[in-house]
Amino acid sequence: MLAAGGIYVKFAVLGAGSAGQGIAGYLALKGHDLFLYNRTPERIASLAGSRRLKVSGILEGEAAIQAASCDLETVVSNVPYVLVTARAGGHESLVEQSLPYLQEHAVIVVFTGYWAALRLQHLLRESDRTDVTIAETTLLPLACRVVEPGHVRISGEKSTVRMATYPPDRLNSVYEKLHAYVPQLVPGRSVLETSLENYNPVIHVPIALFNMNRVEEDSETFWFYSEGISPRVARAVDAADSERLALCHTLGLDLKSAATMIQDYYAVKGETTYQTIKNWEAVREYVLPDPLSYVREELIYGLVPLVSLCDMLKIPAPGARMLVGAWSVVDGTDYWERGVTCERLGLSGMAPEEIVDMVSRRKNDV
């Protein structure tokens, strides 16, 4: 298959879970050169040997992988675009370890961002690699899961996914480079949009909490979305989502509800959040791998920063606060202590207009 514009491009993908294998297969089937990294060898053993990835679902084919390795230098050297699909807890170590090997003016795109463009800026300064740009997206462009070693299924494709950079003056350049290869990407106004538009925390965290028995005892057969949602669980989703939207409004962001985004991304019909998730065909039979690890990520990088910002800006957030508190109790972990706060994002003490100024209008400050 001919690559976009007849140009073949090198991509490194860091993280060989469902997301990483899905986007690697998607791009490789378009004719690009893919280099895949995973921290542990077990997950990529079959790919390292065969260098072939079977793709099924909305795309079908056998994708050629140039390399699948646990050695970062092998994967990221001389590659202009590094796509980070690993979980948020691994973002910092992956970027830090990759920086010595990245080519000049490389672009790192974090799918899904969870405030990565702000969280990781200190690494660029400390290593004197401010030539590197960190972009983040709201969500993954694909719905995918690993069926078996060497086989990934792509069940859905979002119509659009917002992308932003910090500093913001680099966005247009990054977008112009990447849009031809990942056409779902659209430019966002700022990293506030990409991080606050992410609906995963307000959906995954309450569904898992109120289906704890299935999550703990039967997660490998639990259809997380279609079986996990109910009218009352949807109320908890709506409560946290309304607080997210109140924060967005205070920051001047015109973002949509989680249900509306699902409807737009996947052409789903539904008058309520409950109906929308029930009718979400792309993930109807989706088994969320290791759901507790997703919940922990979304508490630390999603709901804690949401509540932290709401507290600073005097916005009530009882729904999200309840979810963080409940999970702190049932998990025996103080997520308020572990989570990302305004202080960690460099936003402490700022008024709404100061936050917007910092992420939207300030020139290169790294």
For residues 303 and 309, what is the distance between their CA atoms, to the nearest angstrom? Answer: 10
Q: What is the distance between the alpha carbons of residues 113 and 245, in angstroms, rounded to a whole number?
A: 18
Which stretch of DSSP H or E encloses residue 131?
none
pLDDT at 360: 85
pLDDT tens across the length of the chain (366 residues): 445 556 789 999 999 999 999 999 999 999 999 999 999 999 999 999 999 999 999 999 999 999 999 999 999 999 999 999 999 999 999 999 999 999 999 999 999 999 999 999 999 999 999 999 999 999 999 999 999 999 999 998 998 999 999 999 999 999 999 999 999 999 999 999 999 999 999 999 999 999 999 999 999 999 999 999 999 999 999 999 999 999 999 999 999 999 999 999 899 999 999 999 999 998 999 998 889 999 999 999 999 999 999 999 999 999 999 999 999 999 999 999 999 999 999 999 999 999 999 998 755 444
Q: What pLDDT is stored for residue 8 in this prediction? A: 86
For residue 366, the model assigns a pLDDT of 46
**Tokens standing for residue 10:** 């090198």
Whole-number pLDDT of residue 212:
96
DSSP per-residue string spanning 263-330? HHHHT---SSHHHHHHT-GGGTT---SSHHHHHHHHIIIIIHHHHHHHHHTT---HHHHHHHHHHHHH
- Domain 4-192, what architecture? 3-Layer(aba) Sandwich (3.40)
Residue 314's contacts (CB-CB under 8 Å, 6 or more residues apart) are none
Task: Write out the two tokens for 335.
Answer: 């997520």
Give whole-number Cα distances, 316 to 100, 210, 282, 305, 322, in Å. 44, 23, 34, 14, 12
pLDDT of amino acid 5: 54
For residue 297, which amino acid is it?
A: E
**What's the full length of the chain, in residues?**
366
Structural domain spans, the chain: 4-192, 200-360
Residue 257: CB partners within 8 Å, gap ≥ 6? Answer: 241, 245, 273
Q: Which helix (H) or strand (E) element contains residue 135?
A: strand 133-137
CATH code of the domain occupying 200-360: 1.10.1040.10
Rounded (5°) CA angle 109-112-113: 70
Nearest-5° Cα angle at 119, 114 to 123: 135
DSSP 8-state code for residue 344:
H
Specify the pLDDT at position 55.
98
